[in-house]
Amino acid sequence: MSLVHVLLPAGVDDPAHPSGGNRYDRRLCDGLAALGWTVREHVVPGGWPRPDAAALAALARTLADLPTGALVVLDGLIASVAAAVLAVERARLRLVALVHMPRPDGVPGEADELQALGAMRAIVTTSEWTRERLVRGYGIRPELVHAAPPGVDPAPAATGTPTGRHLLAVGAVVPHKGQDLLLDALGRIAHLDWRCSLVGPLDRAPDFVDGLRRAAVADGRVRMTGALAGAALADAYASADLLVLPSRTESFGLVVLEALAAGLPVIGFRVGGVPEALGGEAEEAPGILVPPEDPAAFAAALGAWLTDPDLRAGLRAAAVARRATLPGLERTARVVSEVLAAVD
């Protein structure tokens, strides 16, 4: 193997701000090193993906300091908003983008992202869904875009409770993660026996969090833990009965794999790459996916889970079966390694 430079956004290793994207980046760097690559990490300061002039200048300096011909992987939070900087270096450096989530249709900056991705020798996506978005939506040549979905560490099996009452949501408490939709759904089944833990950073959208706190206090069965990592996060999965995923958008959903690694079924919205992460045909899937942003449908699925022992048993059995087939972390690194080795 040879040398690869990896440009990462500030905060990638901050335990107070965990994210699926950050965990993917960290595990990928470690996995490439385990395969024999020399990995040089460069953390680029700034508020990515909303950089100011100082952040863009820092990126330009970082790239300018690299030797001609260097192989460079840029996290998508950086690459997608730095078209002008990348245009200067595209001929001198071998640039590869790691895209977690493309911009939604119609969001300002879509043209800039397309221009930035046009500077790349190759693009790695974290799901087949994202790859298809780039190929079909942006018209990028299919042979340039490679999906490398995440793997997951083995985890102890969750013990569960007979009634399935312990619900777990994992993700930053921000509008696109949809915790407001979850509380709406839970309010519709207030007569049933459930408890719900919201695990994730609470400082990214203070007004949104304050609104959720008021709703949680009013009910008393919703607990907001803040960010958890390591053993504490593993314990949260192990003590839960069900992962609930109310996201408005997800490129993949690493939390789905983490839940399945513990044998937890999933109820969530059918968005983005979530069906890909969940796996299984509809009749055999280890969970239930309902139409996006439909709290009534979400409530109906949760109500069925809480009141139907046969449904719980079937979903738990499917989750245990899926648990045995989950890919490990090394698969992702192998896929990306092959992509990087072919970049000329």
Domain boundaries, the chain: 3-151+327-341, 166-323
From first to last of its 344 residues, the chain has per-residue pLDDT tens of 699 999 999 989 888 788 889 999 999 999 999 999 999 999 999 999 999 999 999 999 999 999 999 999 999 999 999 999 999 999 999 999 999 998 765 555 678 899 999 999 999 999 999 999 999 988 999 999 999 999 999 999 998 899 999 999 999 999 999 999 999 999 999 999 999 999 999 999 999 999 999 988 888 999 999 999 889 999 999 999 999 999 999 999 999 999 999 999 999 999 999 999 999 766 689 999 999 999 999 999 999 999 999 999 999 999 999 999 999 989 999 999 999 999 99
One-letter amino acid at 158 equals A
337, containing H or E segment: helix 329-341
Q: Check if 3-151+327-341 and 166-323 are the same fold.
A: yes
Instruction: Tell me how crowded residue 122 is: count the other CB atoms within 10 A of its CB.
Output: 21
Identify how many contiguous H helices and E strands the chain contains and give both numbers: 15, 12
**CB-based burial label for 191 (10 Å; 0-12, 13-18, 19+):** exposed
Assigned CATH topology for domain 166-323 = Rossmann fold (3.40.50)
pTM of the full structure: 0.92
Q: Please tell me whether residue 150 adopts helix, strand or coil conformation.
A: coil
Q: Domain 3-151+327-341, CATH 3.40.50.2000 — does that match? A: yes
pLDDT at residue 112, rounded to an integer? 87
